[in-house]
Amino acid sequence: MNSNKGKNVVITGASKGIGRAIAASFAAEGATLFLCARNEVTLYQTVAFLQTRYPEAVINARPFDISKKEQAIAFGNWVNEQCRVDILVNNAGSFVPGAVHNEGDAVLEQMIAVNLYSAYHVTRTVLPAMMTAKSGVVFNICSIASLQAYSNGGSYSISKFALLGFSRNLREELKPHNIKVCAVMPGAVLTDSWGDYDNSQHRIMEAADVAAMIVAATKLSPAAVMEDIVLRPQLGDL
C-alpha cells in the first residue's frame, strides 16, 4: 500500500473532533500537515499534541475563520506559498439544530457559510496547482444528513445536502485532471458536541473510525477512487 510519508495534507477544522483525528492519522504516517481552525488556542494545543506524539511529522498551522470568504482564500494562499497540495480535507463545519419554519433568521446563512462556502473557496484556491500536477485527492466531510433528511436538521441538513452536491459536481469536473474527489458521510460520531455522553456500549462511532477510512482511501491505485464513504453506527443512528 502507498505511504503518505512526506505528502502535503491540508485539513480544515483540525483542532478537535474528526479533524483532529484525521490530522493524527496522517501525522502517524509522516505526512506534512497544514492545519487551520477558527480557535487559535485549541489549534495550537492540537499542534503541540501532534508534535509530541508524532515527532517525525512536519506540522504547520494558522488560525483562520474560513466561514468568511476572505479568510478561506487567505488560508488557501498561505498553503500555496509553501507547497502543492496532495490531499485536501474540507472538514470545517458546525451544527445548529432546528426546523426550517422556526429557526433563527441567520441560521441558514451561517450553516451555508461554515459547511459549504468554506470548502468551496479553499478548494478553488488550491486547485490550480493540483490541476497542473494532475494529481491529488479532495475529501469533503459531509454527513449522513446529506443523504437523509431528519427531524431537527433544518438548515444544517440543507447545507450538508449542498456539500454533497458540490462534491459530486467537483468529481466530474476533475476527472480529466486525474484528481480524485470523495464525499465522506458519517453518522453519529463521538465529538465534543456530545458532551459527557457515555459511549461505553459503543453506541456511536469514534472520530478515529472516520480518519481510518479517509487514510485508507488515499492508498488506492491511481485507477480507483472511493467516491462516497458512508459510515454509520452498527446499531443505527440515534
Q: How far is CA 190 from CA 2, 162, 222, in A?
A: 29, 24, 33
Three-class DSSP category at 137 = strand
Q: Which residues lie across from 33 on neighbouring strands?
A: 9, 59
For the annotated catalytic residues, the residue numbers are 156
The number of angstroms, rounded, from the C-alpha of 101 to the middle of its chain's C-alpha atoms is: 29
Closest CA to 114 of 78, 77, 163, 79: 163
Residue with cell 458519517: 186
Rounded to whole angstroms, the Cα distance separating 37 from 180 reads 24
Q: In whole angstroms, how large is the CA radius of gyration of the chain?
A: 17
